[in-house]
Chains A and B, each alone.
Chain A
Amino acid sequence: MSTYTALTKAFIKSLSMSKSNDKRTRITMKVIVAVVVLFIFVPVAIFCSLMTYSLVDNLSYFHIQDLGVAMVFHMISLFSLFFGFNVIFSEFYFSSDIEFVRPWPVKAWELVASKFTVSFYVDNAMQVFMVIASLVGFFFAAKPGVMSYVASVFATITLPILPLCYCGILSMIVMRFTKAIKNKEGVQRVSAVVLAFLILIFVILFRVLASNAEDAVHFFVTETNSPFVEYMNKIFPTVHFISRAIAFGSVTDLLIYLLINVFAIALMLLVAELLYFKGFENLVSNGKAKARSFSALMEKSIQTTPFKAYFKKELMILVRTPSFFTNCVIPNFIWPVFVLIILKMQTYDASLTALRMYNTNRPKIVGFFLIVGSVVFSLIMTSLNSIASNAISREGKHFQFMKYIPVPYDMQWDIKVLVSFLLTFIGIWMYLLPACILIHINVIYVLVAIALSILSITFGSYMGVYIDSIQPKLVWDDELSVLRENTNVALSMGIALGISIAIGAVCYAFYAFVKVRLLLVSLSLFVLLALLNLFVLWRTAKRGKKNIAEQEEM
């Protein structure tokens, strides 16, 4: 077995979540996975398929159907680039196995090739799924020949290679020539800055485009070309060739596509030989802050209750761990940026004056959207921040601590739920409440929305912790992997999304078509959420504690 194969096998094995020995747990997990596939993967697949279908169908009149595929593939490549940055940095320089492997007689290119494969494996699941879904849309719209199918297979497997090669080369250059990133926290900080920068660019782009709808359309597609695709082709040249190979069945384009990928990998491995090991020279342990005097520390050492102490510990770990902070805490407080982007993309007037006017003219419609929206948004936000759905997994190697301290499991469970509840609730209502006041929404509607939001977040939080307790991911390499490789986070999100879609659709249908009164809609939501809460509390009481007590993977 070659060094590369042996290393890759070992790295990938250390990523996997263990399977439970308990038959009931295995069946439960299968059911939940099915729910996730139904409510996350299927909607994403349908969206990608329909988007590609629509683009290709329209563009094929002008014989530029490859642009439709290219647009979707560029989006997927951007997705790989953004999310790959963190993964590649962590895998190349900060995974805990690196310090064991470095002293071995392993060449830099072998180690980088192996780590790259692991990153590709970790980062690729969703992208592969999106590529397949887009291709299905394309095949329905274009009905191509055999060669297109062959090219599609290559696209499915290899599309994210180039974006990830960019991340790999960039990481090695940054580590070798700058002192910007000295530890794992540095990666998180840089990732957060890059993400904020990208959001800013998107906001500006959409503002500019929104100012002239005709220009906006022409930016994405004209009758012969697409400036957007033209720009993006310079960044991801592979997309241009694979799109043509799929759209027109061109063997030459497919070969060029493969050659570019091979070249990108070869270049990355060459850079690895030159820079990779030298990049470790800038790594240092955490700097030492100025310490307070011992007497000052003693003055601050004051007894508090176990509940408060445990709560504080949970908060400190969430806030001080960069991966948890950026993925679990920050989203609760930056969601208005995304709402702003969406509002800017709309053609209707979404100014405060217009919203006030709309509220004056149609207060019940606004009340309906506030009440149902707060339920749905609260549930989605609770699962999206994953504070609850990785609450047990977050304990990792020190999960056993939960079991040997004299604090009842119920209390520990409730504290984890409380942390999820508070961060989500504060994050949502610190913006929504002032917005309601500014728009002059009826106080009763606001109070009902807050009450339902409380029930919704409580349910989402208890459900998240419960799902994570069934089979927590306790063995993880770094904090980022407990979020990205933990299927419980996706499971919880799938269930929340499913329930949200059902609630939103049913409420809208009843209100808009059956003309059920808002009072009845609100009461029905109260009953439904109360029942959901009772159900999850019953499951928690029946199995939750046992799940922790019986968990033996440590």
Chain B
Amino acid sequence: MLEISGVTKTFNDLKAVDDLSFKVNDGEIVGFVGPNGAGKTTTMKILTGILKPDCGTVNVNGFDMAKSPLEAKEIIGYIADSPDMFLRLKGIEFLNFIADIYKVPTDVRRERIETFATRFGLIDALDLPMQSYSHGMRQKAMVAAALVHNPPVWILDEPLIGLDPKSAYELKNMMREHAAKGNCVLFSTHVLEVAEKLCDKIIIINHGKDIFYGTMDELSAKYPGLDFEQIFLEMTGEK
């Protein structure tokens, strides 16, 4: 379970996140959508403990991020917005490094690395420096690293960017499987179609405020006769 309550974050008098509250329940996939600069990445950074909110609380499976940050961070799997990380390491070194940081036992990590490497087609690249990877390959390595400790809470910042169709398909399936096991997934995307098909709930954010939080059915009921794209443009005032 992931819950954010009354969170505000200001940068140089600009409110990037404004009194934001929502909850991602266990067993749910929640899509986080909004225009560029709406505050999605800032919110995700607050949820993962990277940024400290001016006010409000973040709760991850019962752990308050301000009071028990290490416990909260241990159960989060986070994919950052850029996959250009530790490029001097080889893929296998990077995965082992992250597995060590999250204290994943040897036999468990071997099994998981094999699973991810097979599903994402990474096997032949694992012994190469990540600097030689394409953008998509780096993103796959990031996804594998974020999930290698099998965290119950997934926070994924635009995880599908750069992935080839097969890997994107695999990741979407993995999200479904993860949620089906009673865990929660929050992911941001600009591809409305993906959010519409994959998510149990949608959060639409604009200028740091949530302008909608609910199921697709609830959203469609509010705007009869419009598809998701039209609704999004209508709500964010970009039409």
Contacts and interface: CB of A to CB of B under 8 A. Distances in A.
Do A and B associate with each other? yes
Interface of A: 21, 285-286, 288-289, 291-292, 294, 297-298, 300-306, 308-310, 312-313, 316-317, 320-321, 397-398, 400-401, 403-408, 549-550, 552, 554
A286 B124 contact: no
B7 to A, nearest CB: 15
Contacts of B99: 301, 303
A309 B100 contact: yes
B101 A309 contact: yes
Interface string B51-83: 110000000000000000111011010101010
Contacts of B129: 286, 320
B207 interface: no
A302 B95 CA distance: 11
Nearest to B42: A552
Contacts of B70: 406-408
Contact of A291 (B86, B105, B124, B131): B124
Contact of A406 (B73, B124, B126): B73
Given A309-B101, A397-B84, A404-B73, A286 B126 contact: no
B36 interface: no
Given A294-B126, A297-B127, A405-B73, A398 B110 contact: no
Contacts of B86: 313, 317, 398
Contacts of A320: 88-89, 129
Given A289-B127, A320-B88, 15 more contacts: A285-B132, A289-B128, A297-B92, A300-B92, A301-B99, A309-B96, A313-B86, A313-B97, A316-B88, A316-B89, A316-B93, A321-B88, A398-B84, A401-B85, A403-B50
Nearest to A317: B88
Given A316-B89, A400-B50, A308 B100 contact: yes
A301 B50 contact: no
A310 B12 CA distance: 34
23 contacts: A285-B132, A289-B127, A291-B127, A291-B128, A294-B114, A300-B92, A301-B92, A301-B95, A301-B109, A304-B100, A305-B100, A308-B100, A310-B101, A313-B86, A316-B93, A397-B84, A398-B86, A400-B45, A403-B50, A404-B49, A405-B101, A406-B73, A406-B102
B117 interface: yes
Interface size on B, as a range, is 35 or more
A303 B105 contact: yes
A551 B48 CA distance: 15
B76 A404 contact: yes
Given A294-B126, A297-B126, A552-B51, A288 B106 contact: no
A514 to B, nearest CB: 52
A549 B85 contact: no
Contacts of A288: 128, 132
Nearest to A399: B50
Contacts of B171: none
Contacts of B131: 286
B168 interface: no
Contacts of B88: 316-317, 320-321
5 closest A-B pairs (Cβ-Cβ)?
A: A309-B100, A291-B127, A406-B73, A406-B74, A320-B88
Nearest to B94: A313
Given A286-B132, A289-B128, A298 B50 contact: no
B123 interface: yes
B104 interface: yes
Nearest to A309: B100
A400 B41 CA distance: 12
Given A313-B97, A549-B52, A400 B102 contact: no
A37 B49 CA distance: 38
B113 interface: yes
A291 B126 contact: yes
Contacts of A404: 48-50, 73, 76, 78
B65 to A, nearest CB: 10
Contact of A552 (B11, B93, B104): B11
Contacts of A316: 88-89, 93
B181 interface: no
B166 interface: no
Contacts of A306: 100-101, 103
A335 to B, nearest CB: 25
Contacts of A291: 124-128
